[in-house]
Amino acid sequence: MKIAVAGKGGTGKTLITGTLAHIFARNGYKVLAIDNDASMNLAFSIGIPEGTRKTMVPISKMSELIKERTGIDGADSGIYNVNPQVSDIPDQFVVVGPNGIKLLALGTIETPSSGCLCPGNALIRTLLYNLFIKRNEVVLVDFEAGLEHLGRGTAKGVDLMAIVTEPSQKSLELSLKIGHLARELGIKNIGLIFNKMRDEHPIDSLTAQIPSGDHFVILGNIPFDEEVVQADLRGESIFLRNPRAPVVQAIEGVYGKISALFNLS
Ligand SMILES: Nc1ncnc2c1ncn2[C@@H]1O[C@H](COP(=O)(O)OP(=O)(O)OP(=O)(O)O)[C@@H](O)[C@H]1O
Ligand SMILES: [Mg+2]
């Protein structure tokens, strides 16, 4: 299964992707997490130790490697057009974190005016679209904030787009827009996850605004949790810090909804 996590900036995409990675791993899945955000935060929410984090080689370098070897642009070289498997991704680009979670990252901007991360993005798109996933494997992609990745079609070929929404009109409207674009991209399952919910935010008033014809699935209602703020202050993974934290329990609920949606046992 390939799951993309998208949404407005700061809504909790990285927290949710990293925590879901752990929950899938605990349930016996082999997890490949892909950080498609140039800020490269996913390693923190998975809890990859600093030493390992520093060894990460961004996928843009894989693009360069392919270009070097084949003389053609990595993304268009055809290398990933024939149902590659997760194990075919060169080891040097994947770091292995706690619970055996593998992480692959788009890469970051090292110097100003150094150009676009387009080749890396194109490679992720090709890889995601063609990757052959076994029944016990899951790929989770943490997207950059906003809509631009939809313009690039990076998520084409994912089985589920989970859109993270804060309790605000701006966030909900952008989420609906993301959902509509995702549908036009051909993604069949589109879900909404409400995050940072407080007691005064009744979920019904938000879900009432979702046009019924959209068939977006409500995947979760995650509370604002002070412990996440504490974990973030220290650059820790909330799952590793406290697997019983309310936020982790609520994300277990998201896992349950995804399992039901895809009839996973
Ligand atoms: N349920 C929650 N309770 C408390 N704080 C939260 C919760 N979810 C996210 N946060 C906080 O909100 C901030 C943004 O979270 P996160 O980095 O996961 O969002 P994001 O959508 O990935 O952001 P970006 O768009 O910058 O990539 C972080 O400081 C995080 O600690
Ligand atoms: Mg993020």
Distance 43 CA to ligand 1 centre (A): 14
pLDDT tens, residue order, the chain (265 aa): 999 999 999 999 999 999 999 999 999 999 999 999 877 899 999 999 999 988 888 887 776 666 666 555 555 555 555 566 777 777 778 899 999 999 998 866 666 766 677 777 777 888 888 888 888 999 999 998 888 888 778 888 899 999 999 999 999 999 999 999 999 999 999 999 999 999 887 888 889 989 888 889 999 999 999 999 999 999 999 999 999 999 999 999 999 999 999 988 6
What's the pLDDT at 221? 96
- Strands of the sheet containing 189-197, edge to edge, are 95-96, 102-105, 30-36, 137-143, 2-7, 160-165, 189-197, 217-223
Q: Which domain holds residue 132?
A: 2-261
Atom number, ligand 1, closest to the C-alpha of residue 223: 1
CA of 180 to the centre of ligand 2 (A): 21
Q: Which atom of ligand 1 is nearest to the CA of 226?
A: 4
CATH code for position 148: 3.40.50.300
Distance 260 CA to ligand 2 centre (A): 26
Say how many residues make up the chain: 265
Task: Please identify every residue whose CB atom is under 5 Å from ligand 2, which is an ion.
Answer: 13-14, 41
Domain count for the chain, please give it: 1
Burial of 47 (0-12, 13-18, 19+ CB in 10 A): buried
Q: How far apart are CA 171 and CA 235, in angstroms?
A: 25
Ligand 1 nearest-atom number relative to CA 195: 1
Q: Which atom of ligand 1 is nearest to the CA of 224?
A: 3
Residue 233 confidence (pLDDT): 93
Ligand 1 pocket, CB under 6 A: 7, 9-15, 37, 39, 41, 145, 195-196, 222, 224-225, 228-229, 232, 247
Contact 191, 205 (CB under 8 A): no
| Chain segment 144-200, per-residue pLDDT in tens | 888 888 877 888 889 999 999 999 999 999 999 999 999 999 999 999 999 999 988
CB 4 within 8 A of CB 153: no
Phi, psi for residue 47 in degrees, rounded to 5: 90, 35
Site to probe by mutation for ligand 1, drawn from 141, 228, 251, 254 as the one with most ligand atoms within 8 Å of Cβ, is 228
Q: What is the pTM of this model?
A: 0.92
Q: Whose CA is nearest to atom 2 of ligand 1?
A: 224
Q: What CA–CA distances, in Å, run from 11 to 66, 145, 171, 186?
A: 35, 9, 8, 24
* The predicted structure's pLDDT at residue 55: 87
Cα 13 to middle of ligand 1, angstroms: 7
Q: Rounded to an integer, what distance in angstroms lies between the CA atom of residue 190 and that of residue 82?
A: 26
Residue with tokens 């995409």: 13
Contacts of 157 (CB under 8 A, 6+ apart): 2, 128, 129, 130
Q: Helix 246-261 and helix 226-233: axis angle, to 10°?
A: 100
